[in-house]
Chains A and B, each alone.
Chain A
């Protein structure tokens, strides 16, 4: 009979954990010393917050296949809840406030995720829009959320953890970096576990998943809960570490689309995709603005910039969906020649 020989596709490659380790060392050890205040404030902090939001959305939309158009609403819940916990509960450590805020966002996520038990595809996407509009309205309408500020604006508290002041720009960078690293690690662990496989199973074929015994209800709600928790914390980071002053309008539909675009461009169902997409989203307006004023001079005012940005982002989305639906993550994989998708080492 035939003897079939199969060659392994990859002969020599570095263990999978080298790259993230190098990045982390760079991020923790080197960046704060070479990065200017502008780099941190204008680029790195929003990058970190948006990446985390992307990681959260990816769990829900990329892995579990539940399309959500309302992610900004959960960022808003996280931001405002953290603000209120910190303000109203005496002596509550900041990290606990943020964690609790994530919990609130998770609870809201479960509520707005309930329709996913009956709805699919477009219908589900439309119902997530309900979350977007409702949350924005509630946060603006009820002054309690913003401590009766007339425009619904909230100010970030001083970032102090265990007595250490993280309020400087470098401090806020470390703060955000620690939170993002921890939660990304957690998300990666979930995605690599059987829970993550259950997410993918539900995405790829819900009917089959149900028959083989994947607990569909529970898994979908878990996806919403975990995703919203992470997005909520991302929202708190956005408010506390980056902007320092936020209002409900900053968490509008455009923001929700921005996060969705991040995961599409970056690569659905990959953890690193969120970071690649967020990097692009944060860096490209700056590049476009510089390029525009260089090429067109005075003609290139802020209106033109805004519109050009819109066009380029929209075009990028379409281009990625056509050419590389697996996003930048897949592009990167192709470049480094890793074709085989390998399962992480078993835990046992």
Chain B
């Protein structure tokens, strides 16, 4: 037999074996009623994607114990209330404060009666009152840590330049990145006024980059995959763009020059909508990319536990490694894209338009 045929047969038998094994497992679980691995994996992935009041390192599923650090809970409910999340005992116990009862339910704090019952509305969502939650959750911890890290990194970089013109140590890693953001992102897209916006672009680039990279570590903080965080980042871009918009920017939105009057009226609502869709797309892009990446990595990892055999496990280990490396690329790419598009939008707002000639046409010089 030829080599290729043997390879084909081996490959086919591998797939058959894997699928047979899966079917056998399913049948076994149906009969014995063991804990469903699939549901377990799904819950684990869901839990990983969400924000939490605990910094859990690992959990013992059989004993039902969690090992980690409880984070402070800060709520506003007729006054500021601060206590440790350990009081909730992972949602098993009520917290009583001045006659008010609070319950942790699916990582959200609800106000309940002394019996701790969560009531459901028609849409299957709890209708209990929720206090304003300013807690330092897992995501907030991640952001604070990254902010401190960035401060230390760039403080040492700035210190370095005071002593010598060529930085030493870790600053050598940072310098090319900073120069890259300046020369490849800010200068070509914003133009001569780029200096004013460098601080924002650098901050947003390194903040997103470091958070993305943190998300790939086993700490499992999924900060940039949280839509509230990306909303905040996109909102800052939106505000900066609107406030740096010059006369021409607003003129092009509300009274587009160089088109008939009817078109001016038609274009106005479209341009106004465009003001909002740009940051909206920024928000969705970063959020969806990071969340999708986390889901794929976690699902592939979970497949090892679903199949549980000697053939599938190394294969899925390889897949997970492969996707993780791609995620490393995506972490850089998304930070780059967010900064680049922010710079592009700012550039659109600050661009100096030359006077439009009366007769558009052939006599515009082509450079």
Partners in one complex: no
